[in-house]
Amino acid sequence: MQHNLVVFPCSLLLKLRGYPAIWRKIFWIAAAAIFAMANAAADTNYVHFQWKEVRDGVWFGVPQPNSFATTNAVIIALPGVGSMVVDSNYADFIAREIIEKAKQVAPGPVRYLINTHLHPDHVQGNEAFKKAFPQVEIIAHQRTCQGIPAKTVPRIKDRISPLRQELDAMRKRRIAIGENEKEAASALDRRMAGLELYLSEAKATVWVLPTSCLKMTTGQMKKITAGGRRMEIYYFGRGHTAGDLAVYLPVEKVLVAGDLWSEGGDMLLNNGIDGRDGSTLETAMTLRGVRKLDFDIALPGHREVIRGKASLDAAIMDDNKLVAQIRESYARGEPVDETLKKVVTPPNMGTAPWQRAVIRGYEEMELRHQLGLPER
Ligand SMILES: [Zn+2]
């Protein structure tokens, strides 16, 4: 953990000797206040994850309340070999926490690291894994390998300045919080501590790219057998991004799903995020491919463990409805901003991601039309 301790120069202390006691007292009170303020966040013992063992040797890390980021972590123990980790998360300090947990629950190196897709909260911690385990095999879809330098890196550069402004705004809010609002104060302290850690590291981020870029087409699978466990890495097609991988444990009936969907369903609608990485028109088809797997629980990239397939069915249905609406509007020649006024955001979903998905769907329709491809 990084500490930004304030150190008072000795020369200043020596100069104080000639001043009256009252001034020396005022100086020490002010110094103590500055010192406390400067180190308030640094002294917060920021621990990111709450871990649970969802199956024998399969660990699921969910961020504690008021964390800096919302992305989960998965460790699969491979006895006698080490472990497989799915997604390296958003920052070095979070990745190091995953590494420490992996060492504790699965002696040996992290042998495989899967990057499910190109979003920074799934790949930015790669460097920490490479440093700790130079031999680690980092596996991703080829589109993720291409997308990290082309999309992820420039986006993160653009985000640093808004995040600094957000931190400044948080600091102002923190000053405004009254002494008896302890809960609100500690929640904000925790979020500030995480953001400070992230910003202190982000400027020196070294982007480590996957070492194995899989040229998989829809429905293809790559099998890894290690430590007496069988792991199947699937590509189901375009959805949240163009290169989402999922890890399936057929014996344990566990699916590590990345951001393909999550309980509540709105994850799939983030396919329009930033550079329009995914597909609105193809999401339902991709998720129908996922549905064919026989899993009891799914571990999503965000939120809690998913049991059964009800939320997956809901996500498929939502996408089908949205695509039907887009198709109708597009066929009438209606401009996208008119359609955006009409579409109703389903309950429990954010309006902005839903609207981005509409825009993405329109773009895909337009592209297909220009290329003379069927609409699907
Ligand atoms: Zn994502």
Q: Let me know: does 187 contact 42? Beta carbons within 8 Å.
A: no
Centre of ligand 1 from the C-alpha of residue 88, in Å: 12
Phi-psi region of 39 (alpha: psi -120 to 50; beta: other; left: phi over 0): alpha
* DSSP structural state of residue 149: I
Residue 55 neighbours by CB under 8 Å, 6+ apart: 249, 252, 254, 297
| Distance from the alpha carbon of residue 78 to the mean position of ligand 1, in angstroms | 26
Between the CA of 123 and the centroid of ligand 1 the distance, in Å, is 10
Distance 70 CA to ligand 1 centre (A): 11
Taking Cα atoms as reference points, which of 125, 196, 54, 314 lies closest to residue 62?
Answer: 54
121 CA distance to ligand 1 centroid (A)?
Answer: 7
Which pTM value belongs to this model? 0.84
SS3 90: coil
* Distance of alpha carbon 54 from alpha carbon 306, whole angstroms: 11
- The pLDDT value recorded for residue 38 is 45
Record the tokens describing residue 188, joined without a space. Answer: 């904000």
Q: Determine the distance separating the centroid of ligand 1 and the alpha carbon of 4, expressed in angstroms.
A: 32
Both tokens of 249, joined, read 């444990």
- The answer for residues whose C-beta is within 8 angstroms of residue 216's C-beta and 6 or more apart is 141, 142, 222, 235, 245
Cα(274) to centroid of ligand 1, in Å?
11
Spacing, Cα 272 to ligand 1 middle (Å): 10
Q: What is the model's pLDDT at position 24?
A: 55
Residue entry with tokens 């992290």: 110
DSSP notation for 219-273: T-EEEEEETTEEEEEEE--SSSSSS-EEEEETTTTEEEEETS--TTSGGGGGGGH
Q: Which amino acid is at 15?
A: K
Q: How far is the CA of 309 from the centre of ligand 1 (A)?
A: 20
Positions in the chain short of pLDDT 70: 1-44, 265-275, 348, 375-376
C-alpha closest to that of 250 among 308, 306, 294: 294
- Walk across the sheet containing 82-86 and list its strands: 49-55, 58-63, 73-78, 82-86, 110-114, 137-141, 212-214
Beta-strand relationship, 137-141 and 110-114: parallel
CA 240 to ligand 1 center in whole angstroms: 7
- Between the CA of 7 and the centroid of ligand 1 the distance, in Å, is 41
The alpha carbon of 276 and the centre of ligand 1 are apart by a number of angstroms equal to 11
Calculate how far, in angstroms, residue 150's C-alpha sits from the geometric centre of ligand 1.
16
Cα(277) to centroid(ligand 1), Å: 9
CA–CA separation, 318 and 90 (whole Å): 29
What gap in Å lies between CA 80 and CA 94, rounded to an integer? 25
Can you give the pLDDT at residue 354?
A: 80
CA atoms within 13 Å, Cβ hemisphere of 11: 0
Per-residue confidence (pLDDT) for residue 148, from 0 to 100: 96
